[in-house]
Structures are given as structure tokens and as C-alpha cells.
Amino acid sequence: MAYSEKVIDHYNDPKNVGSLDKNDENTGTGLVGAPECGDVMKLQIQVNPDTNEIVDAKFKTFGCGSAIASSSLATEWVKGKSIDEAMSIKNTEIVEELSLPPVKIHCSVLAEDAIKAAISDYRKRSEG
Amino acid sequence: MASEHTSCQSCGDSLISPLFCFSCNSLQTVSDDIDHFKVMGLPHCFEIDSAELENLYQRLTLEMHPDFFVEAPEKQKHLSEKSSVMLNAAYSTLREPSSRAKYLLPLLDREKSLETDALPERFLQEMFTFQESLDEMLESGDQSALCKMNEDLQNRHTFIESNYADLFKKFETSPENHEILQQLQTQLNAERYLRRLLDRINSE
């Protein structure tokens, strides 16, 4: 299967690989998986509690090129957004941006799930 | 039609597989939608005799392979191709316990109520940690740590696969208990992650 140029770009030069301190109360961590293929994706956000803006994001994904590209793109997109804006990112936008073929759509779903999981983890921790 | 798939369309003898009659050596016309178990003349049951499955596969391949129908009329040629594709798909799915279980599960899940993404608690975190440690081991070339991890994962994988038969049997005796199917689904999901890790170790 041929990957699109944008997928290859993200795969060769992934943005924001790494991790944030998950014990910091201003971070949120989302860990999601796709049993279909055994991919695991961790996406973390750092939030400015005064403005609710996502100031940093990191990811680490064990999976195919499309899963890596989807999560790399997701971290780029959430940075600078408010958590509400980030919450509304749809997997279809990722599919479009990366020209993912139908068999790889689940990778974009995983990235959307990871963003949502990270945000809900942040909310839970900042309220608690 | 009651006799469909069970008796030969030419001689009327009973069929072992709906694809071919060994009594009069004739290819059978079959509908596209018969499932892999039916192709091999098996009931929807997890436990199968692997030797018997392989034996039937080989006998059918020897009779139906498209190479033997190069000179045959178009209809026969087409039937042999179609049946061989069905045979290969059925055999490759049914021979391995995990792929067989994965295929059988939705056939038994009449209520379509399975939570297909379910995993044991904290399992994902554990798999992520395994992948990260694997990164380190591969980078440092720590062979003994790799061997150890391979063995641990292999044991867990074997343990999961060894439970399928019992769980399916349990479901047969209490088919109203959908919780058993969910347990199987969860185990199958876990199996996928473990195999993914094992593949990664063994491809390096």
C-alpha cells in the first residue's frame, strides 16, 4: 500500500515525540489502543490553567506509519488551541489532511480518541 | 433447499465438503455466502481435529486446483477458481486457534452485543510499557533481556490461546450467558497486542 506524501513526512520526521510529566497537574494523558491491529498510542497535553490553552503536546505511538502520522498531526493541531476547540477535532479532518485510505481510517479514529482521552484526563485531574 | 451443501448435485451422494464430491469427482456449485466452517463441512464449534482439517484441505486442493482445469470448459474453470479461493480462505482462518476463535465469535454472538474494543484493566498501559522497554532493549542490543521478554510474552500468549476451548465449551453448555463471549472477545483483543509485541521481537 502506498502512503501519501504527508504520511511519509510525518513518519520520517514526527513532530512532538516524547512525553510530559504525567504527575504535573496541568497535564493530561490519553492512552488508547486499536485491538484490530494492536497499535498503542499515548498523547499528552500541557494546559495553561488560566487560559485553558494547550501550550504543549507530546505523543508516542507504537503502530503503523498512518498511526504515527495521525498522532503526530494531532499534537501539531492541538497546540495553541483551547481544550474546547481541541475537543472538536474530528478524525475525518485527519483523514483528509493525510489522505488516508479507507483501511487506515481507524488510525485517525485512534488519534481523535487519544486527544479526547488526554483532555478528559486533564479535566478530571484539574477538578479533582 | 434442504439438501443444498450436503448432497452432491450430480450423483446425490452425501458430501464431506460442499465444494466437491469425492464419490463422482465433481465440482459443486456453491453460494458465495457460506461460512468457513461450512466450507470445511464443520459445525460452528471451536474444537476441531487439526489433522483432519489439514487432510481435507489437501485432498480438496489436489482435486480442485485451477491448474487441473486449464483445459476444462469455462464454467468448470471458473468453479475451480472460486472454490479454491474459498477453500484457502477457510483453511487459513480455521487452522490457527486465534483466527478461528476470532471468526467464530461473531457467528455465535446473535445479540450483536459484544464490546469489541474491551481489554483487561491496565492492559494497555502494560503493553505500552512493554513496547517502551523493547525500544530500549533493541537499542542497547541486550540479548538476554530480549530472550526473557520473548519467553514471558510467549507464555502469556500460549496461556490465552489455551483458554479458548474451555470458554467456547462453557458457552455451548450455557448459550444464554453472553458474558462468556465477552470474555473471549477480551482475550482475543489481548492476544492481538501480545502477538504484535512477539512479532516485533522476532523480526529484529
Question: B116 exposed, middle or buried (CB, 10 Å; 0-12, 13-18, 19+)?
Answer: middle
CB proximity A62 to B under 8 Å: yes
How many C-beta neighbours within 10 Å does residue A1 have? 8
Cα separation, B61 vs B49, whole angstroms: 18
pLDDT band at B4 (very low <50, low <70, confident <90, very high): low
Q: Is the pLDDT of residue B204 over 90?
A: no
Q: Write the residue in B119, B125, B132 that is nearest to A35 by C-beta.
A: B119
Q: Which of B39, B162, B166 minimizes the C-alpha distance to B103?
A: B39
Which residue on chain B is closest to A64 by alpha carbon?
A: B196
Domain B20-95, CATH number (from 2.30.31.70, 2.40.50.100, 1.20.140.10, 1.10.287.110): 1.10.287.110
Q: Which of B7, B79, B5 minimizes the C-alpha distance to B43?
A: B5
What pLDDT does residue A1 have? 61
CB proximity B193 to A under 8 Å: yes
Which residue on chain B is closest to A33 by alpha carbon?
A: B124
Q: Is the pLDDT of residue A128 over 90?
A: no
All 3 cell numbers of residue A38? Answer: 494492536
H or E segment and range at residue A61: strand A53-62
Which residue on chain B is closest to A61 by alpha carbon?
A: B128
Amino acid at position A72, single letter: S
CB proximity A37 to B under 8 Å: yes
Q: Which residues contact B148 (CB under 8 A, 6 or more apart)?
A: none
What pLDDT does residue B1 have? 42
Question: Which positions 146-175 of B are in contact with A (Cβ < 8 Å)?
Answer: none
Q: Which residues contact B110 (CB under 8 A, 6 or more apart)?
A: none
Question: Mapping DSSP to helix (H, G, I), strand (E, B) and coil, where does residue B20 land?
Answer: strand
Could you report the per-residue pLDDT of B7-31, keeping only the tens digit for each?
Answer: 999 999 999 999 999 999 999 999 9
Cβ separation A31–B196 shorter than 8 A: no
**B156: chain A residues, CB-CB within 8 Å:** none
Q: Which of A61, A62, A68, A110 to mutate to test the interface with B (most CBs of B within 10 A)?
A: A62
Q: Are B149 and B130 in contact (CB under 8 A)?
A: yes
pLDDT band at B2 (very low <50, low <70, confident <90, very high): very low
CB proximity B136 to A under 8 Å: no
pLDDT band at B54 (very low <50, low <70, confident <90, very high): very high
Cβ separation A40–B119 shorter than 8 A: no
CB proximity B129 to A under 8 Å: no
In which region does residue A62 sit, left (phi positive, over 0), alpha (psi from -120 to 50) or beta (all else)? Answer: beta
Q: Which of B78, B95, B120 minimizes the C-alpha distance to B39?
A: B95
Nearest CA-CA distance, residue B133 and chain A, Å: 12
Q: Which of A17, A39, A40 to mutate to test the interface with B (most CBs of B within 10 A)?
A: A40
CB proximity B131 to A under 8 Å: yes
Catalytic sites of A, residue numbers: 37, 107
Place of cell 485451477: B66
- In this prediction, the answer to ipTM > 0.85 reads yes
H or E segment and range at residue B112: none
Q: Are A22 and A44 in contact (CB under 8 A)?
A: yes
Going from N- to C-terminal start, the domains of chain B cover 20-95, 113-203
Q: Write the residue in B116, B124, B195 that is nearest to A33 by C-beta.
A: B124
For range B87-105, the mean pLDDT: 97
Which residue on chain A is closest to B199 by alpha carbon?
A: A38
Could you report the per-residue pLDDT of B133-165, keeping only the tens digit for each?
Answer: 999 999 999 999 999 999 999 999 999 999 999
Q: What percent of chain B has pLDDT above 90?
A: 88
What are the two backbone dihedrals, phi and then psi, of residue B75, each rounded to the nearest 5 degrees?
-65, -40
Q: Is the pLDDT of residue A8 over 70?
A: yes
**More confident of the two residues B127 and B116:** B127
Cα separation, B31 vs B19, whole angstroms: 10
DSSP string for A4-57 = PHHHHHHHHS-SSBS---TTSTTEEEEEEEETTTTEEEEEEEEEETTTTEEEEE
The β-bridge partners of A32 are A41
pTM for this prediction: 0.85
CA dihedral sign, ordered A115, A121, A122, A127 = positive
pLDDT band at A22 (very low <50, low <70, confident <90, very high): confident
